[in-house]
Amino acid sequence: MSGILTVLGCSGSAGVPRIGNDWGSCDPTEPKNTRTRASIAVQNGPDTIIVDTGADFRTQINRENIKDISAVFYTHMHSDHVNGIDDLRGFRDQTKRQVPIYGMEDVISFLESRFDYMFRDALPYYPQALVPHIWTPDMMGVEQVFGETPYTIFRQDHEGLLTLGFRFADVAYSTDMVNLDQAAINTLRGIKTWVVDGNNLYIEKPGPHANLKGLIEMNEQIGAEKIYITHMKNNLDYQTLCRELPKGYRPAFDGLRIALDGTVLNDNAGF
Convert the pLDDT of each residue in 166-225 to its tens digit: 999 999 999 999 999 999 999 999 999 999 999 999 888 878 899 999 999 999 999 999
Strands 226-230 and 249-251, how do they pair?
A: parallel
The number of residues in the chain equals 271
> SS3 of 93, please?
helix
Q: What is the predicted pLDDT for the residue at 1?
A: 59
Give me the amino acid identity at 189: R
Phi, psi for 123 (deg, rounded to 5): -145, 165
Convert the pLDDT of each residue in 229-249 to its tens digit: 999 999 999 999 999 999 999
Q: What is the predicted pLDDT for the residue at 122?
A: 78
Are 51 and 80 in contact, with CB atoms under 8 Å apart?
A: no
Q: Considering the entire predicted model, what is its pTM?
A: 0.96
Q: Which helix (H) or strand (E) holds 220?
A: helix 212-222
Convert the pLDDT of each residue in 5-64 to its tens digit: 999 999 999 999 999 999 999 999 999 999 999 999 999 999 999 999 999 999 999 999
Q: Which domains does the chain have, with CATH numbers?
A: 4-256 (3.60.15.10)
